[in-house]
Amino acid sequence: MEPDFVKGQGLLPTVVQDSQTKEVLMVAWMNQDSYKKTRETKETWFWSRSRQELWHKGETSGHIQKVVSMALDCDRDTLLVQVIPKGPACHTGARTCFFNKIED
């Protein structure tokens, strides 16, 4: 089964999860090119909406994400990518991008 890039207007939200702890590490966007490169290299590639270019997670930091599995949601317009992270996922140096707690 393949993603439906038409529904997402060319981009699919992609949830990246640690394959062992199941912790959500980050959410990013994939287009057809980054999806293809991720499948080919078994490392995560994404589409930067702000820079309008492909980016390889860990290319500059060394914090690559080795892909263990990929799954589509029921509508085939959202990806779940389970990875073995080599270092923190967040550009701030935090393990996960989800560290900002919302208080009541």
What domains does the chain contain, in order, with CATH numbers?
12-85 (3.10.20.810)
How many whole angstroms from its chain centre is CA 10?
Answer: 15
Q: Report the predicted TM-score, pTM, of the whole model to 2 decimal places.
A: 0.93
More confident residue, 83 or 1: 83
- Judge whether residue 16 has pLDDT over 90: yes
Distance CA 48, CA 31 (A): 10
Q: What is the average per-residue pLDDT within 9-25?
A: 97
- Judge whether residue 8 has pLDDT over 80: no
